[in-house]
Amino acid sequence: DAGVTQSPTHLIKTRGQQVTLRCSPKSGHDTVSWYQQALGQGPQFIFQYYEEEERQRGNFPDRFSGHQFPNYSSELNVNALLLGDSALYLCASSLWDTTQKSSYNEQFFGPGTRLTVL
Amino acid sequence: AQKITQTQPGMFVQEKEAVTLDCTYDTSDPSYGLFWYKQPSSGEMIFLIYQGSYDQQNATEGRYSLNFQKARKSANLVISASQLGDSAMYFCAMREATYSSASKIIFGSGTRLSIRP
């Protein structure tokens, strides 16, 4: 049973460029969340996708956008890269919480993509 | 607003000793979940343990236990009989229960645990 996979592992870009990161969720999962983790900090929530729609978004500018495909995989796109976008980008998959009120919804994380912006 | 606070940036512990990693949280929602994750140098976040706000007993998973003190809003992680492989970053995190199925996890700033042989 494959876990969450992400590609590429590492990426180097220059300021102003655009980047696309990819994530395949754990088998059986239908929801993908993206997090940005700057060096020495905890992950910060970017957004979450379910049924190919963005369901919730953190405090990130519109330069950050995403997409979810019918097979539940997801992409994170960042336009006009800034030096401050250098970080580890983590993808997490889970099952959509159909109980409508549950605090337990374990998210399984992938190994991350380390983005360096020069 | 939700907030997770981890006040120990780094800790050194002798192998086989028990260690407690501190975590306090702030939320106005009566229903929430607390998580601890381990992040080795490889970068992957590994789920360790979960505690629901209505759970009567402290959660335990093998060598990990969560000391949940609801009135004090603390959720400390206790690792018994530490091992060299426990050296990593540890994050406390919280998810609020809402009537929306969308969920996000709020993380603390982490504690770097180093186990000495």
pLDDT band for position B86 (cuts 50, 70, 90): very high
Residue among B43, B46, B91 minimizing CB distance to A42: B91
Question: Using one digit for the tens of pLDDT, what is the confidence trace for A21-63?
Answer: 999 999 999 999 999 999 999 999 999 999 999 998 999 999 9
Across chain B, mean pLDDT equals 93
pLDDT for residue A67 is more than 80: yes
Q: Is the link from the previous residue into A8 a cis peptide, with omega within 30 of 0?
A: yes
Binary contact (B43, A112; C-beta < 8 A): yes
Contact A103 B108 (CB under 8 A): no
Nearest chain B residue to A43 by CA: give it. Answer: B107
pLDDT range class, residue B103, cuts 50, 70, 90: confident
Look at residue B66 and tell me whether its pLDDT is greater than 80. Answer: yes
Residues A14-28 as b/e (b if ≥16 CB within 10 A, e otherwise) read eeeeebebbbbbbee
Report chain B residues whose CB lies below 8 A from the CB of A33. Answer: 103-105
Q: What is the mean pLDDT of residues A2-15?
A: 95
Q: How is residue B89 written in tokens?
A: 């970053």
Vertex A5 angle, CA B42 and A18, to 5°: 90
Pairwise CB contact (< 8 Å): B33 & A42: no
pLDDT, tens only, A70-104: 999 999 999 999 999 999 999 999 988 777 666 67
Residue B99 has pLDDT above 70, yes or no: no
Q: What is the spatial distance between Cα A112 and Cα B45, in angstroms, rounded to a whole number?
A: 9
Among the residue ranges A49-53, A96-100, A106-110, B37-41, the one predicted with the least confidence is A96-100
A86 Cβ neighbours under 8 A, 6+ residues apart: A38, A39, A115, A116, A117
Q: Which range in A16-25, A91-100, B95-104 is most confidently predicted, on average pLDDT?
A: A16-25
Q: In whole angstroms, what is the distance from residue A66 CA to residue A49 CA?
A: 8
